Chain A
Amino acid sequence: MLDSLFYFLACFSVIFAVGAVTSRNAVNAAMCFLLCLVGVSGIFALLEAYLLAVLLVLVYAGAVVALFLFIIMLLDMKRVSSWHFKGVSGLATVIGAGLLISGVVGIATRGKLESLPLADVPASGASLKAYGEALFTTYLLPLQVVGFLLLIAMLGVIVLSKKFTAEEVQ
């Protein structure tokens, strides 16, 4: 039952990822990306990372995609250029396609990563208490650094998007 849900969500997210990458209209691309994120978040929930599933929807679907949509509307893009195949980028795409497809096929057919059935492995990402304990003991310094990074990003965005007058530049 849950397995078929997993496969359904996997197909769902792959289909909408293709839609996000190929669609002509930027708003459609952002919406397809949103649905792809919902699928991935469902897979997170199936892998028993409930906090991350909620955070993915909140941060990505709630903030990032909304920001994308704001920018698309702000820039007022009527149409977006479609695919290009020429020159160096065409060659790079062909080489990259070959490498990636051989890698995917190799993983799919000859993957020998042994994994225990999930019933035998403790779901350590399922409890919020474990997250709190890890974040405030082992990962305390990265947590502080990330907080500082968010502050710097906020200041950077303000500086980037402010229009400076001639006197302020001096």
Chain B
Amino acid sequence: MITVGLNTCILLSVVLFAIGFFGVLLRKNTLVIYISLELMLVAAMLLLVAFSRYNGTLDGNIFVFFILTVAAAEVAVGLAIIVALFRQRVTIEVDQLNALKN
């Protein structure tokens, strides 16, 4: 049984979320942006599990169960879109995907 407080879990989750956030804002490659997005999702899951554990309820865990399912579906569709994009434009750098500009 760990004796770590809830605050530590929240801190860890926020740090992971912040790292993912910087990745989304600063990287220009679509795949790396996508990995950073998944990192943010994992941070949110960690927070739900921690709150659920420290409150003695099950609902947070069930939400994480659903988030996992939706994330799997989302990754499949997102990567299919990236592949379709690559077929059309031969690049997935967000700088060069500016067809809607002007």
Q: Which residues of A contact B (CB under 8 A)?
A: 2-3, 5-7, 10, 13-14, 17-18, 20-21, 26, 29-30, 33, 36-37, 40, 43-44, 46-49, 51-52, 55-56, 59-60, 63-64, 67-68, 71-72, 74-75, 77, 80-81, 83-85, 89, 92-93, 96-97, 100-101, 103-104, 107-108, 111, 113, 115-119, 121-125, 130-131, 134-135, 138-139, 142, 146, 149-150, 152-154, 156-157, 160-161
Contact = CB atoms under 8 A, between A and B. Distances in A.
Contact of B29 (A46, A81, A101): A81
Query: Which 7 A-B pairs rank lowest in CB-CB distance, beginning with the nearest?
Result: A153-B73, A21-B23, A115-B6, A160-B80, A111-B7, A125-B61, A121-B56
Q: Is the interface of A mostly helix, strand, loop or mixed?
A: helix
Given A59-B68, A67-B75, A139-B62, A125 B32 contact: no
B79 A71 contact: yes
Interface of B: 1-12, 14-23, 25-29, 31-32, 34-36, 38-39, 42, 45-46, 49-50, 52-59, 61-62, 64-66, 68-77, 79-84, 86, 92-93, 95
Given A14-B15, A134-B62, A153-B73, A3 B54 contact: no
A139 B69 CA distance: 14
Interface centre among A3, A64, A111 (most CB of B within 10 A): A64
Nearest to B10: A107
14 contacts: A6-B2, A40-B45, A40-B46, A52-B49, A77-B31, A101-B18, A107-B14, A108-B11, A125-B49, A125-B52, A131-B58, A149-B69, A154-B76, A157-B77
B31 A49 contact: no
A89 B25 contact: yes
